[in-house]
Structure 1
Amino acid sequence: MTEATQTIERGIQLTPTAFKHIKMLQEQQGDRELCLRVGVRQGGCSGMSYMMDFEEPNKIQDTDEVFDYDGFRIVCDPKSLLYLYGLVLDYNNAMIGGGFDFTNPNAAQTCGCGKSFGV
């Protein structure tokens, strides 16, 4: 069981390390109101690739799923959530291969870099 799943169940989980890093990046953007949009798009070496970026709260759609982490929001469109439900987002500080890590229970295959997947 990861650290993220020990807390409230959410469709997209954040480990404490990922949460800390995302909050740091949010502060660097200079806007504490920004939310994180997570989704998928066609492409990548395994067929689909992960995408995430900060987004203004006024761009959240009525159909989006919103997960709250102590006032910080993760937003995901319903089509992406079909592929991402249960995703655990972690962060790794390694000099080689570091960055965000996606553990997706829906992925039948992943590429070597871990940034794309197939279902």
Structure 2
Amino acid sequence: MFTITPAAAKQIKIAAEQGGTEGMALRMAVRENKDGSFSYHMGFDEPADTDKRIQTEGVEVIMDPSFDKYLDECVLDFVELDDGSWQFVFLNPADPHYVPPKVN
């Protein structure tokens, strides 16, 4: 199942407040690139009748069911990068270019 970390959920809620989209679901999408890697897309949206709905860390996530095979074990996190900037990252073992994070 697709999950969101507490850090990502906090940032999603801040973005919803700042963007005036509180109460809307977070739509997830993924595209498989020619090299086999994945491109991830997300934004606030209204659910469609055919969408899959997931509740994780207080965030409603919606997606087209066709993305299940790409996002089933994916984790969305919000992390600080080496340069000090913060970014959403997708930890997805289904992505052929996925490299698990190093644990110190």
TM-score (norm: length of structure 1)? 0.70
For the Cα contact (< 8 Å) 1:12–1:85, is it kept in 2? yes
Secondary structure of the residue that 2:10 maps to in structure 1?
Answer: helix
Q: Identical aligned pairs, as a percentage?
A: 33
Return the alpha-carbon distance in structure 1 between the equivalents of residues 11 and 88 of structure 2.
9
Aligned to 2:75: 88
Distance 1:70 1:91, change over 3 A: closer
Counterpart amino acid of 2:30?
Answer: V
**Cα 1:100–1:45, aligned 2, differ >3 Å: closer, same or farther?**
farther
Q: Distance in 2 between matches of 1:71 and 1:94?
A: 25
2:56 is the alignment partner of 1:69 = yes
Whether 2:39 is the aligned partner of 1:49: answer yes
Across the two proteins, how many residue pairs are aligned to each other? 98
Residue of structure 1 in register with 2:5 after alignment: 15
- Give the whole-Å Cα distance in 2 for the aligned partners of 1:48 and 1:88: 14
Alignment-mate amino acid for residue 24 of structure 2: L
Out of 20, 27, 34, the position equivalent to 2:17 is: 27
Give structure 2 stretches of 5+ with no counterpart: 100-104
Deviations 1:6-37 (A, max 9, x none): xxxxx211111001011000100113111111
Paired residue type of 2:80: N
TM-fit CA distance, 1:42: 4.1
> What letter matches 2:18 in structure 1?
Q
Q: Which amino acid aligns with 1:100?
A: F
